[in-house]
Structure 1
Amino acid sequence: MGARTGLDLVTYLADSVGTPVYDNPVGVIKDESIGLSKSLADVTDRRSDGWRLQKPTLKEGTVTITMTYDPDDADYQEFQEAFFNDTQVVLFLADGDATETGTWYGLLAAFEISNFGKERQMEDGVVIDVELVLNLETSSNLAPRWHSVTVA
């Protein structure tokens, strides 16, 4: 695969975590960031010789997206409606174009939108800052997963 730039990556709106379809790339996304981490449990005891010992436990994740403000765009509308209606969006954040030959990897999950803020700067195009948090998919109770798709 070689080195990739952010421009090579594609985010898809999917119907389901269980049976994703890769026919709806989200075109209004400008920038995105995926933050994955684990909570830490303190497992320090008297044998640690003064060191705090920790064990990773539950996985956590947030995705932040900057998208172009385009209220006529269907993908933009889906994010906006999910925020205002307290519904979910299912996304596959792929490391390439899942319709091209190759194997593509990324986070596949249902998200709820916790932030939908508008940047209104004088010299830039208007953008929306979106923060998404991981959740179980409402219709299937499927958890987020690291997903791969191979196209021959």
Structure 2
Amino acid sequence: MPLVAPFALVPIIPNLPFFYLCFRAFSHWKALAGSKHIDFLLKENLIAPKPSKILDELYLRNRIPSPVSKGAADTLSSNSKVSDVETMLLHASDGKEIAKALDIPELQMELDRAVWQVETDLENKRKMREEKDQLALAKEEAKKK
């Protein structure tokens, strides 16, 4: 068997990691180009911000505590004690209303994903705070003994 025979298999086996990394690089490049475009539009005052009655209604409605999920309810109840805690402006049920009101059906899936990510992040932060509090209490009790 010749020494170069294994190199003959290289074109047959697809280089999937290479294509994946190229796709990721292209996606990041597109996102960077989009952010530069938005930055240009903002610097040149080509974007005129307008208030949205739809979003204002949803945000005002959600300022009243209504427990949608366990994490959101815990965050809202702890917000009355500490002002540093983040709260949700949108809930999972709001994505469908926003997509319907703005007539962009694809937006619902993206909003649902974003709400899920933020709720998960808030829940993880709440758990971390609880663990830190428990650790601090354990240290204080150990010092007293």
Normalized per residue, the structure richer in helix is 2
Instruction: Determine if the TM-score, normalized by the shorter chain, exceeds 0.5.
Output: no
TM-score by length of 1: 0.21
Which structure shows the bigger proportion of residues in strand conformation?
A: 1
Normalising by structure 2, we get a TM-score of 0.21
Give the number of the structure whose alpha-carbon radius of gyration is greater. 2
